Amino acid sequence: MEQEQLSLWLAVVAYVVAGMLAIFGVVFAKKYDKSILFFMSLGLALHAVALGLRWIRLEHGPYLTMFEILSSNLFTLMLFFIIFYWRYKPVRPSAAVVLPILFIMMAWMMFTPHDAGMVPASFDTIWLWIHIGFGKVFMGSVLVAVGMGGVIVLRKYHWTEKKFANLPSNERLDDLAFRFMAVALIFDSLMLIAGALWAHDAWGRYWGWDPLETWAFITWLVLVITLHLRATLKLNHVQGAYLIFAVFALGFLTFYGVPFISDAPHQGTFG
Amino acid sequence: MTLFSNRLAIYSSSLKLTLVLFFIFGTGAVAWHFTEHALKDWLITVPLLLLAFNLMTALLTNKVFRTHGWLLLFHVGLLLLLLVIGISQVTKLIGSVEVTNGSVYDQSSAQWQQGLFHPNRLDKLQFKLEKFNINYAPSHGETVRLDTQAYLTWLDEEGGVKKGIVGDKVPLKVYGYKLYTTHNKGFAPMFRWQPKQGFSNEGSLHFPAWPEHEFNQSNDLQIPGTSYKVWLSLKFFDPILSTMEPSVFRTPNDFVLVVRVGEQRHELQPGDFIEFETGRLEFLGLNTWMGFQIFYDWSLPWMLGAALLALFGMAGHFWKKFAPTPWEETLKEDKK
Ligand code: HEM
């Protein structure tokens, strides 16, 4: 229990160090790439230890309580971002946008009660993993796109204009961001399909418009609208960026907001 | 006329219309939550129908689809998906029924909603609920429901007798219907009505679901073949579920059945009875009932197929579209 807490705290510290370095790097035009990658990976390893210890202690994965959902999502978002950071060198400074967003999740996670929950019968299935796995790739892709959208928007302002001078042009960033949005759509669709199959398996119906399902659907629809808008109305890059933010915000609310206000991940798990 | 139909084709296949319809669809889905109106499903159905029409005309007229095979495949998949959803909506059934422990299913107590073209065969179902278990576990001073097993005997479509255990995730499958156990269950007092003349009659009354309606364990009983109506209420004093250790749903050991006949109040134990002018009502004991959900929907595998086809097309489309990697050039410039 104490080791678990300790490694979680150390992980958060490492993440925060990486984030601060990313921000300093942009502000003072320094290259801390290697250190940032190191601290992010260190944080990830410590975080894995914390998750693993908890898993062993409670004998179920991190998907029941708000704390567990936040923690495991932070982990997968970080993992996704680290891979992106490592592979897409020219856009690394977008870490200065992405990591502070993750800080919010970290703070929220640390202030959420770390209690344990009970596994409902409907969670004892492979669908859980497929459904959640797709969802994580979806959010990871949107997060990466948000990083690039953030750079595009920040460039609008005089005081930050030069800070991102070394990055590719807005056009390129927009292009790359929307590739990640395309990946996001594919995985969001897969998540909905897997979710529907799971719901069918667990509750005999594949779609019931419960609050979580409705919000997940709205998120999917806004993502589709975003891609259609971009293809038909020739949006400029800043407008594209705002749409990316909208999808992220909706996705975030769906994942963390709706389970927060209703009693169970889905209403079907009641009683 | 041709001018008119051309115009119609242009407008109805417009991508701007698609955007508007998407928006209406989303609004409809949210609005669906805030109304209980009998026609609320149209909030979702109408936008979907319009989208399907929009998509169909676009597939026929938009040149983009002629040059982009993957995009075409993707949108054809979507159209198929909409089609399957449409057909499944008009042929499906969703319903529920409560069955007393140890008794047979009775269609007259089932409730359901069905699509316009559903071939209803609920009257053909024959099964008996032999017994059921619902397991609970303690959690933070409360209880959590775990798995349910209902032991059933039923007749299959050929009239053969079958036995099996169904539950939350394993339904009884007959005549295309699937019956799942639910969290709805409760107590059921059993009675025998012995008229002064004629044959006796046994039956049970279902109290509202427990523990959902824990504080409203009462109901009216209309004694069959008479004009007598009595009010019943169950009071019990031992906790059914434990917050300390694993437990199962069961009838209480320490209870009374309160019966009100007009102004008179009786408290009955099993074996007690009340005399009426034309007969006697005997309380035989306390039993339980289980609520089942009934589904009829054949569309799932087809929907899955259409969705996967669409997804495959979408993946192909994006793969092709995003094959070039222009930002890599910045990297090369960086290195120079
Ligand atoms: C119902 C769900 C729908 C989804 C999920 C969907 C999704 C998409 C996606 C992801 C693209 C690719 C955009 C890109 O390349 O960046 C696209 C393009 C397109 N969609 Fe849809 N679509 C849907 C319905 C429709 C409908 C109803 C129409 C009918 C007009 C339509 C017509 C088109 C056309 C013509 C394109 C090509 C646009 C272009 O690249 O210029 N779509 N759609």
Quick one: closest CA in A to B30, which residue? Answer: A214
Query: Is 60 exceeded by the pLDDT of residue A57?
Result: yes
> Helices A2-27 and A95-111 sit at what angle, rounded to 10 degrees?
150
Which residues on neighbouring strands pair with residue B203, listed in sequence order?
B191
* B110 and B185 within one domain: yes
pLDDT tens digits, B126-158? 999 999 999 988 877 788 888 889 999 999 888
- Nearest by CB to residue B169, choosing from A166, A201, A232, is A201
Calpha distance A128→A108 (Å, rounded): 24
Q: Best of A187, A225, A226, A228 to mutate for ligand 1, by most ligand atoms within 8 A of CB?
A: A228
How many distinct structural domains can be found in chain B?
A: 2
Q: Which of B295, B311, B327 is the last residue of a domain?
A: B295
* B306 and B212 within one domain: no
* B242 and B220 within one domain: yes
pLDDT tens digits, B249-281? 999 999 999 999 888 899 999 999 898 888 899
Peptide bond connecting B119 to the previous residue in cis, omega within 30 degrees of 0:
no
The answer to whether the Cβ–Cβ distance between B15 and A232 falls below 8 Å is yes
Calpha distance B308→B77 (Å, rounded): 8
* B72 and B104 within one domain: no
Query: Is 80 exceeded by the pLDDT of residue B328?
Result: no
* B285 and B216 within one domain: yes
* B243 and B212 within one domain: yes
Calpha distance A88→A84 (Å, rounded): 6
Query: Is 70 exceeded by the pLDDT of residue B336?
Result: no
Please name the helix (run of DSSP H) or strand (run of DSSP E) that holds residue B111, with its range, or none.
strand B111-114
- Residue nearest atom 19 of ligand 1, based on CA coordinates: A228
Give the pLDDT band (50/70/90) at residue B2.
low
Interface subset of B 74-133, CB within 8 angstroms of A: 94
| pTM, two decimal places | 0.77
Give the residue numbers spanning the domain of B128: 93-295
Q: Is B2 on the interface with A (CB under 8 A)?
A: no
Give the pLDDT band (50/70/90) at residue A161.
low
- Give the other-Cβ count within 10 Å of B76's Cβ: 18
Q: Are B173 and B180 in contact (CB under 8 A)?
A: no
pLDDT tens digits, A104-147? 889 888 887 777 766 665 666 677 778 888 988 999 999 999 99
pLDDT tens digits, A162-209? 677 777 888 888 989 999 999 999 999 999 988 888 777 766 677 778
Contacts of B298 (CB under 8 A, 6+ apart): B88, B91, B176
Over range A234-243, report the average pLDDT. 90
Calpha distance A158→B76 (Å, rounded): 47
Q: Is A205 on the interface with B (CB under 8 A)?
A: yes
Calpha distance B72→B313 (Å, rounded): 8
Q: Best of B75, B80, B82, B311 to mutate for ligand 1, by most ligand atoms within 8 A of CB?
A: B75
* B141 and B99 within one domain: yes
pLDDT above 70 as % of chain A: 87
Calpha distance B81→B48 (Å, rounded): 11
Over range B105-124, report the average pLDDT. 88
Query: Is 50 exceeded by the pLDDT of residue A271?
Result: no
Query: Is 60 exceeded by the pLDDT of residue B180?
Result: yes
* B98 and B78 within one domain: no
- Comparing CA positions, the residue from A153, A125, A141, A114 lying closest to residue A2 is A114
* B81 and B225 within one domain: no
- Comparing CA positions, the residue from A132, A142, A102, A133 lying closest to residue A226 is A142
* B180 and B272 within one domain: yes
CA angle A113, A119, A120 (to 5 degrees): 125
Annotate B114-155 with DSSP letters as a single string. Answer: E-TT----GGG--EEEEEEEEEEEEETTEEEEEEEEEEEEEE
* B115 and B88 within one domain: no
Between the alpha carbon of residue B76 and those of residues A68, A188, B12, B59, the distances in Å are: 40, 19, 17, 8
- Nearest by CB to residue B295, choosing from A197, A205, A218, is A205
Distance A228 CA to ligand 1 centre (A): 6
The answer to whether the Cβ–Cβ distance between A232 and B16 falls below 8 Å is yes
Q: How far apart are the first and last CA of chain A?
A: 30
Distance A151 CA to ligand 1 centre (A): 27
| Sheet hosting strand B218-222, strand order edge to edge | B218-222, B229-236, B255-261, B264-268
Interface subset of A 110-169, CB within 8 angstroms of B: 115, 117-118, 120-122, 125, 166-168
* B320 and B210 within one domain: no
Output the average pLDDT for chain A: 84
Cα distance from B168 to chain A (closest Cα, Å)? 7
Interface subset of B 204-233, CB within 8 angstroms of A: 212
